[in-house]
Each structure stands twice: as structure tokens, then as C-alpha cells.
Structure 1
Amino acid sequence: MMTVLLGVCLVVVLVVILLQITTRRRKPGEPPLEPGPLPYLGVALEFSQNPLGFITSRWRKYGDVFTVRLAGHYTTFVLDPRSFTHAIRNTRVLDFRAFSNKIAHRVFGMPIVYGTPRDWVRADSDALFSQELQGQGLDKVTEVMMGNLQSAMLAATDVTVEWNRGELWSFVYRIMFSASYKTLFGEHKEHKDETARLLHAMEEFQKYDKRFPEIISNVPWWLMGHTKKRYGYLKSMVSPAELCQRDVSDFIRMRQEIYGDGNLSPDETAAFNFATMWASMSNTVPAAFWTLYHLLKDPVAMNAVKAEVNQALKETGQSLEHVKKGDKIIHVTRQQLNDMKCLGSAINEALRMCSASMIIRVATEDAELALESGSTFRIRKGDRVALYPGFLHMDPEVFDDPETFKYDRFLENGMEKTTFYKKGRKLRYYLLPFGHGVSMCPGRFFALNEIKQFVTIVVCYFNMDLLEKHTPPQDQSRAGLGTLAPLKDCLFRYRLK
């Protein structure tokens, strides 16, 4: 008995010593500090359960700037949107590339090229986003996506049945996954079971993506079941050997040429492609789901969007009846999609309510950072500086009644509204679902275009009704990683017009 008590006492003493050694003390000039109750984890458990609630409570306690220990890292949150640029613009001491490269290496297997002679491969391949997936370069991709969306949508429905019943999240996911994959990576030239193969790939992707918070947290592969196997399979779906058998987009074709010139191995090339694949699915699909969900729940909003879509079809002499009779597809150009201001506002509103990205920089040395007010705060080498736009997006001073979906919130006199205020001053940044600065998603124009096309096609082809009144909760486990998926699916019914 005495031996047991001595052993317990020794453990307690060692824990106390460990806590004293690892507990950080706030220094002059540093923000308020909360190390949290748990060694290493700090406040991670409370944060993961309700990120917005956690940040809101600390804002009330500490103000716009505070530091917490979050999963082994001391992270300083800057919450005043007027100070966003001030807080992270010091690129000399605040690093994004090295940090993001390490993350990408972990979750996708991408080689770490930043700061090496091969970094030009990353830079040149990233430059293709503005060339091929923005502006006029997006026109051709839009046309291909329109065809793929309609093919996937009709394949996912039984058009001989007057009313179909289904689950909305599954419906959206299946259509968006198939259409996005084919648009970027093309149709297989010979494979006869393409539909079944893509359905299997989608199922494996969903299972892999479900474990993404654990993967990015560096949980060992052996603790995550078949996740490592799924990781290998998904990379094989975008490997050079696979893409040689597909009619890939110009965007992917040119990237493969860059990877070849950079002497990347097949596995390294597949890793870059896997990252592109994940980025095109993981945030776009939830955003498409929430946009459609809220439109179905709000008849006024749906009618406003329908009016825009019908006007675009009328201007080009198109109708669903013409499509049915002529075995054709609906064609809507990128410019027509841009002109749909109600639809654009509805998508922005859905993104405002479901995006939970965290913009992170890592300090490469001890530094003093400035805020918009002129005040400063100090951070230490290795600390992280984080912006959490979700706090801004739900700020009632900026967005009246932020818990309510208002499809026209981003509309003003028939045009996009860009005037939002905080403490009487116009905000330069008020909606940040795609990041900020050097970490802003390069594929954001392609993503928004996909969502617009998806909703347009749904409106053209189907009548839909939700069969459940309660809005499904959001999956908070993905907070900090982008748009939040629903925690559970919801039933709906639909029929071809």
C-alpha cells in the first residue's frame, strides 16, 4: 500500500514539475494569455466543441487580441477586422509558405519545395490558376462544367418517377464530385464502368475527408483504420499513369508539363494533383449544399433566383422543353452567371454562415506587430497569429441578425453590396471564406462558378421540397479548415419539371 502511495505521489510531483517547466508566463507587451487546463492541448478540447462560442467568450474577457495554447501551439487571435491586414502583412517575420508546405506534405504527400531550388515548380503551377481558372480563361471550363453537371444530375435521378425522395447532402455531393472531377481531370478514354468507378472514388474520398481533422493534427496513420489505404487509392486516381488515360483539362495538362520539367516523381506529381482534387471538393460541396438548402427553405429567395435564371435562358432563347426535345443541354456563360446578382448574394450569404476557415501565420522570430489603432503587441518565435473570419461573419454590428439567412444581404440597388461597417467605419474586408493575403485560395473563382452553375441547373431542371423543418447542425470538427458540412443529412423530394 505504501509503495502504491509513494508511486502516486511521485507521479503527481512529476506532473507538477512538468507543468511548471512547460507553462508559459506572459511578458510585457504580449497579449492576455490563457494556457488552458491541459498540458500540450491547452484549450483545444473546448475550442473544438464550439469554436465560435469559445472565441466569442474570450473576446468578451480579453478584447480583440489574446493568446491561447491550442493543441501544442501558442496562437494569438486578432479579431478586429480593421486590423486584419496590419496583423499579418509583415511577411518578413510572419511565414505562411513553410507552414502550409509542412501541412500539405502531411495530408497529401506533397514534396516540400518552398525555399529549395524546386520552388519554381510550385510558383509556376500556381500561376496557372489566374490564367486558366479566372477571367476569360474560365469560359471554356464553365462550358465543360455545365455539361458535366447536367449529365451527373440526370444520372443521379430516376426521371421516370414523378417524385423522387432522397437525402440532400448525398444528392449534392454525388453530383458535384462527379462533375468537378470530370471537369478538371477529364473523361476516361476507355474505361466502361466510369460512373461506378467515380462513385467508389467519391465514397473513399468522403471517408478520407472525414478523418481530415485528425490527419492534419498529425494523428498516427495506424490509429485511423483504413485511412492510409484510402489516401493511396485517391492518389492513384490522379496519378500520371491514370491521367494519361483521361482527356484532362488544359489547366491540369499544363500543370503536368510543369511537373515533368521539374523532374517530379510520379508519386510527387500525384500528390500535387491530390491536393488540387481535395481543394476542389472539400469546401465547394458544403457551400453548394448550404446555398441550395437555404434557397429551398426560403421561397422568396428561391423565386428571386429562379427569375434570374429564367431571364438568362430567355435572353438566349433556351428552355427546358427545348432541351428535352432536342436532346441538348442548357448553356449559361460565365458572364451570365456573373450577372445573376441575387444568386451571387445568396451564395455569399451561405458562405458567411457556413465558412469557418482560420488564417494562420507563424512567427520566424520574436516580433512586435501593429494594429490598425496604432497599438502593438509582441509575439515570440514559433507563435502563430490567427484570424478567424467566422467571428466577423457572425458579428451583429456588421451583419444585422446574423443567425438568419437573408438572400439579399449582399445586394444593393440591384448590384453587389460592398458597404459594411464596424464602429462607424467602412470595412475593407467583411467576407473572407477563401482566406486572406498570400493564403487566399487561388481557385476561388472556379469554386464560386461551380456553385452558381450547380444552383442554376437545379433551378432549370427540378422542382424540390424539403421534408424536414429543422436545419441540420454544422460539423464543428472541421472548424478552421474551411466550410462546414452538415452533421447529418436531411430528406427532400424532387422531380423533373
Structure 2
Amino acid sequence: MLTELLGVCLVVVLVTVLLQVTAWRRRSGEPPLEPGPLPYLGVALEFSQNPLGFITSRWKRYGDVFTVRLAGHYTTFVLDPHSFTHAIRNTRVLDFRLFSSKLAHRAFGTPVFYGTPRQWIPTDTDALFPKELQGQGLDKVTEVMMGNLQSAMLAATDVKVQWNKGELWSFVYRIMFSASYKTLFGSHKEDKDETARLLHAMEEFQKYDKNFPLIISNVPWLFLGQTKKRYEYLKSMVAPAELCQRDVCDFTRMRQEIYADGNLSPDETAACNFTTMWASLSNTVPAAFWTLYHLLKDPAAMDAVRAEVDMVLKKTGQSLDTVKAGGEMIHVTRQQLNDMKCLGSAINEALRMCSASIIIRVATEDAELSLESGSTFRIRKGDRVALYPGFLHMDPEVYEDPETFKYDRFLENGMEKTTFYKNGRKLRHHLLPFGHGVSMCPGRFFALNEIKQLVTLVVCYFDMRLLEKEVPPMDQSRAGIGTLAPLKECPFRYRLK
């Protein structure tokens, strides 16, 4: 059976390769084309090894617009940041929702809603984000998250010893996973082994997420070891039967009601919930890690953030001594978090350096697209148009000395700095870690709050020191997906204040 399956896969690949090799020729009005040295894969291997280096070299060779064959798809990159909106604003021709729906179906097993009678379901669930996870609706979630973070943080550390040794990536991951899961999906009403279950779920999630680039590349489950088994287990953690036993937040409860009204099966509902679970963790945890890491590495940055946190505590009559004496927890509101402009700048700087997402649209028909300069380029039906914000984020013309973490880069006269320039003109979009346009992450405010809360609590509770000077390398296999995780652990020591 396995031999036959492999034979079928080989035939499909060979036919696909033959069609692409023989059918594609550059036409008038189309951008410069680089098909790459490998059939089907094109430039995928070179790109995956060093995405920023690859993009930079092609920009020097071809200019701001060029097409490459990337893992079976002809992808046109637009690198001029002034043209980002121009390049993808034609939503009639450039599709995101059907593309993302198919991607989610592959990665999480969610139904392909768009273009079907059930298209209203994701529309209604997406409408909950502004109400529940943005603006004033975020107040209650912030309060719950604050408590969950503190509980997870103290549970993850041995505070009985004066100085402790740990690994920063594992430290951040364990705290964020537990707190985020409980905030969105609630605490179990009866299970006494909740801590052990969540620790096991975290380990399974990490292993699943490690293979995520292969999963969305349509590598058969057969070749991914235990990944399919882990996928089924993680879905069970957010299945309707499980959530019935949990005190879920209003956001999750209302989503379940929409899924029920749409007659989704329990498995379909679990898959949709798993998508939310992944989205709340996969990119937020690395961003939180790099923020904390760079603050620990830069004493001046940590001192500035600590002063800001101390000021908030002083204004609210809180201190670690009074908290410990009364058996209470630190309480910081959403508005107080928003007012921490120095911490916000440090997070933006970490995101600038670790974000490697690709913003993609798929052409539904042959079309001509325009750039901000007035020039145009042609694309074909099925082509992909891609923006790579990482190229902008590391542009020395926009960000002086871009390889260096500067905690106050996004700070100006005590307020958030938003004026950055390219070619002498102010950029409309200078920082895009959460996507752009219709694909912008709807949970970005919740994610930023989580990171601010984590750093605030670390500053309140702990003294920390890094034990190695070398910056851990980033996992480039996740380029195009979001924020890059460290490739190795980062030892540190800590003690309770």
C-alpha cells in the first residue's frame, strides 16, 4: 500500500513539474522572472536558508518588483513600502480569504467556509474581535490574563531558593501557554490535574508547531511522524465536550454559539477552536521571548522599563511588599498598560527584529496592478502577490543601525513615535508585524497586552540575569509565518525580589 501511495505521489509531482516547466514564460508587462534551479521548488531552498538575504540580493538584481517560483507557486514580491497598499488594494482580483481558509483547512482541519453557504460563520466570529478583544472589551480579558500570568509565573519558578537557574525560552513558553489557554478557554471546573495536563499539552503543541512549516507545505502526514496524533490530541483540548467543563471567556462562549447555529460538527468546532489556540500562541510567545531577552541584555533598557512599571505601581498604591503581605496579586489595567510608552516601544523594537511574516494575496484572474509611482505590472490568475515587511524592518534608510536593539526607537518626547521615512517621504506603514489590510491579525491588541503584562510582572517579581552573551540564532524555517523563535535555549538565573 505504501509503495503504491508513493508511486501516485511521484506521478503527481512529475506531472506538476512538467506542466510548470513547459507552460511558464515571461510575458510583456510582467516583472522580471527567476524560476529557480529546482523543478517545482524553484528558489525555495535558498529562500528558506536566509529569507532576508535572498530578498535583498534579488532587490539589488531586479528592483522593487520581481517574480520567483517559490515552492510550486509563482510569487511576485513588491518591496517598495510606499506601494504596499497600492499593490494589494484591488480586493476584487486579489484574494486573501479563500487562500487563508484553505491554509487553515490544511493546518487545523477547519472547514473551507468561503464561497459556500456557510460563509457567514467566519464573518460573524470575526465580528467578535472588535467587541471582545479590542477597546473596552479587552478590559475584562486583561484582568483575567493578569491573574493567570501571575499564577503560571509563580508555579513555573522555584522561589524557595535564593538564586535559581533556568532556560528563558522554556520559562516564557510555559507561562504564556498556561495563561493564554486559561484566559481564552477557562479553567477546568473539576480536574485536579490541570497543571500536569497543560504542561503535557504545551509539550505536544511545541512539537506540532515545530512541524508547522512542513504541514502548510502539504507534506503528507505520513512523513511527519506523530504530528497527526498530536494534532488530534490538541483538538481534543478545545473540543466542545472539553469546553463544556470549563469557564470559558465571553469571546469563546459566543464563538461556540455561532458554531452551534451554523450546525458545525463537534470535530469542525474543535478545529476552529484549535485555530484560535494556535493563533494566540505561535507568534506571541516568540515575540514575548525576544522582548524579555533584549531587555535583559540591555541594562539601560531594563532600567527604563522598570522605572515606568514602578511609576504605575506607585500611582496605584501597589508594591511587591504589600502584595506579598496581603496575599494579593499585582493589578494593572488595560489603560495603564497602554500608557507604558517605553515598554510599548521596546516591544515594537523586538517585533521589528523578529517578525518575518509574508503578506500574501492570490490573483483570481489575469490583472494589471499599479504601484504608488504610477507604474504597473501584470500578474496571471493563480499568481501570488507578496509583501515582505522584514525587508522594510531591516532597511537602514528607515531604521538606522537596524541590527541593533534600541528600546526607545519608537519613542519620541514620551509618546509613541510614528514618523519614519523612505526616499525622503514619510511612510504610511513603517511597522507591519501583524499583517496588513484584510489580513491584519484581529487579535493583535490581545497579543500586545499579553507581552506587556508578562514583562511588567517579571519586572515586579524577579531579578534576572542572562548567563551567556551570545544572541541565540533565529529559526529561519518559520520565515513567512510570523515571528521567529530562537533555535536554542538561553540560560539565565533569577530570584524573587
TM-score, normalised with respect to structure 2: 0.96
Are residue 230 (structure 1) and residue 230 (structure 2) matched? yes
- What residue in structure 2 maps to residue 330 of structure 1? 330
- What residue in structure 1 maps to residue 301 of structure 2? 301
Amino acid at match of 1:468: E
How far does residue 117 in structure 1 lie from its aligned partner after superposition? 1.4
Give distance in 2, aligned partners of 1:345 and 1:133: 21
- What residue in structure 1 maps to residue 3 of structure 2? none
Give distance in 2, aligned partners of 1:34 and 1:338: 45
Give distance in 1, aligned partners of 2:256 and 2:383: 36
Q: 1:433 to 1:21 in 2, by over 3 A?
A: closer
Q: 1:21 to 1:36 in 2, by over 3 A?
A: closer
Are residue 49 (structure 1) and residue 49 (structure 2) matched? yes
- What residue in structure 2 maps to residue 142 of structure 1? 142
- What residue in structure 2 maps to residue 389 of structure 1? 389
Q: 1:21 to 1:217 in 2, by over 3 A?
A: closer
Give distance in 1, aligned partners of 2:246 and 2:73: 43
**Alpha carbons 2:133, 2:446 under 8 Å: kept:** yes
Give distance in 1, aligned partners of 2:20 and 2:264: 47
| Aligned length in residues | 483
Give distance in 2, aligned partners of 1:390 and 1:353: 8
- What residue in structure 2 maps to residue 161 of structure 1? 161
How far does residue 22 in structure 1 lie from its aligned partner after superposition? 3.0
Are residue 239 (structure 1) and residue 230 (structure 2) matched? no
Are residue 125 (structure 1) and residue 128 (structure 2) matched? no
Give distance in 1, aligned partners of 2:461 and 2:215: 39
How far does residue 168 in structure 1 lie from its aligned partner after superposition? 0.3
How far does residue 19 in structure 1 lie from its aligned partner after superposition? 8.4
Give distance in 2, aligned partners of 1:297 and 1:20: 49
**Alpha carbons 1:476, 1:484 under 8 Å: kept:** yes
Q: 1:168 to 1:20 in 2, by over 3 A?
A: closer
1:105 alignment partner, SS class: helix
Are residue 482 (structure 1) and residue 482 (structure 2) matched? yes
How far does residue 115 in structure 1 lie from its aligned partner after superposition? 1.6
How far does residue 183 in structure 1 lie from its aligned partner after superposition? 0.4
Q: How does 1:350-389 map to 2 (within 5 A)?
A: 350-389=350-389
Q: 1:169 to 1:424 in 2, by over 3 A?
A: same
Give distance in 2, aligned partners of 1:21 and 1:466: 51
- What residue in structure 1 maps to residue 172 of structure 2? 172
Give distance in 2, aligned partners of 1:443 and 1:493: 32
**Alpha carbons 1:24, 1:35 under 8 Å: kept:** no
**Alpha carbons 2:20, 2:40 under 8 Å: kept:** no
| CA shift digits 1:106-142 (9 cap, x unpaired) | 0000001112111111111111111000000000000
- What residue in structure 1 maps to residue 344 of structure 2? 344
Give distance in 1, aligned partners of 2:53 and 2:84: 20
- What residue in structure 2 maps to residue 8 of structure 1? none
Percentage of matched positions with identical amino acids: 85
1:377 alignment partner, SS class: strand
**Alpha carbons 1:150, 1:329 under 8 Å: kept:** yes
Give distance in 1, aligned partners of 2:120 and 2:93: 22
2:69 alignment partner, SS class: strand
Give distance in 2, aligned partners of 1:427 and 1:377: 22
- What residue in structure 2 maps to residue 421 of structure 1? 421
Give distance in 2, aligned partners of 1:195 and 1:20: 51
| CA shift digits 1:245-267 (9 cap, x unpaired) | 00000100010011111111000
Query: Unpaired runs of 5+ in structure 1?
Result: 1-13
Give distance in 2, aligned partners of 1:292 and 1:21: 47
Are residue 471 (structure 1) and residue 471 (structure 2) matched? yes
2:385 alignment partner, SS class: strand
Give distance in 1, aligned partners of 2:203 and 2:387: 33
| CA shift digits 1:46-100 (9 cap, x unpaired) | 0000000000000000000000000000000000000000000001110001100
**Alpha carbons 2:393, 2:399 under 8 Å: kept:** yes
- What residue in structure 1 maps to residue 194 of structure 2? 194
How far does residue 23 in structure 1 lie from its aligned partner after superposition? 6.0
| CA shift digits 1:329-384 (9 cap, x unpaired) | 00000000000000000000000000000000000110000000000000011000
**Alpha carbons 1:23, 1:35 under 8 Å: kept:** no
Give distance in 2, aligned partners of 1:288 and 1:20: 41
1:445 alignment partner, SS class: helix
Are residue 255 (structure 1) and residue 255 (structure 2) matched? yes
1:141 alignment partner, SS class: helix
2:127 alignment partner, SS class: helix
Amino acid at match of 1:388: Y
**Alpha carbons 2:357, 2:483 under 8 Å: kept:** yes
- What residue in structure 2 maps to residue 269 of structure 1? 269
How far does residue 21 in structure 1 lie from its aligned partner after superposition? 4.4
Amino acid at match of 1:193: D
Give distance in 1, aligned partners of 2:208 and 2:79: 32
- What residue in structure 2 maps to residue 10 of structure 1? none
Give distance in 2, aligned partners of 1:20 and 1:161: 63
| CA shift digits 1:237-285 (9 cap, x unpaired) | 0000000000000100010011111111000100110000000000000
How far does residue 24 in structure 1 lie from its aligned partner after superposition? 2.3
Amino acid at match of 2:411: L
**Alpha carbons 2:52, 2:391 under 8 Å: kept:** yes
**Alpha carbons 2:21, 2:39 under 8 Å: kept:** no
How far does residue 20 in structure 1 lie from its aligned partner after superposition? 8.6
Give distance in 1, aligned partners of 2:329 and 2:405: 32
Give distance in 1, aligned partners of 2:272 and 2:291: 29
- What residue in structure 1 maps to residue 217 of structure 2? 217
| CA shift digits 1:163-214 (9 cap, x unpaired) | 1101000000000000000000000000010000000000000000000000
- What residue in structure 1 maps to residue 65 of structure 2? 65
Give distance in 2, aligned partners of 1:59 and 1:23: 26
Q: 1:21 to 1:466 in 2, by over 3 A?
A: closer
1:386 alignment partner, SS class: strand
1:493 alignment partner, SS class: strand
Amino acid at match of 2:461: Y
TM-score, normalised with respect to structure 1: 0.96
How far does residue 25 in structure 1 lie from its aligned partner after superposition? 1.6
1:66 alignment partner, SS class: strand
2:159 alignment partner, SS class: coil
Amino acid at match of 2:367: A
Amino acid at match of 2:203: E
- What residue in structure 2 maps to residue 97 of structure 1? 97
Give distance in 2, aligned partners of 1:393 and 1:151: 35
2:176 alignment partner, SS class: helix
Give distance in 1, aligned partners of 2:50 and 2:299: 31
How far does residue 18 in structure 1 lie from its aligned partner after superposition? 4.1
Give distance in 2, aligned partners of 1:304 and 1:20: 55
Give distance in 2, aligned partners of 1:322 and 1:23: 72
2:474 alignment partner, SS class: coil
Give distance in 2, aligned partners of 1:284 and 1:22: 43
Q: How does 1:17-28 map to 2 (within 5 A)?
A: 18=18, 21-22=21-22, 24-28=24-28
Give distance in 2, aligned partners of 1:262 and 1:24: 42
**Alpha carbons 2:42, 2:69 under 8 Å: kept:** yes
**Alpha carbons 1:93, 1:364 under 8 Å: kept:** yes
- What residue in structure 2 maps to residue 442 of structure 1? 442
Give distance in 1, aligned partners of 2:302 and 2:213: 34
- What residue in structure 2 maps to residue 109 of structure 1? 109
Amino acid at match of 1:38: L
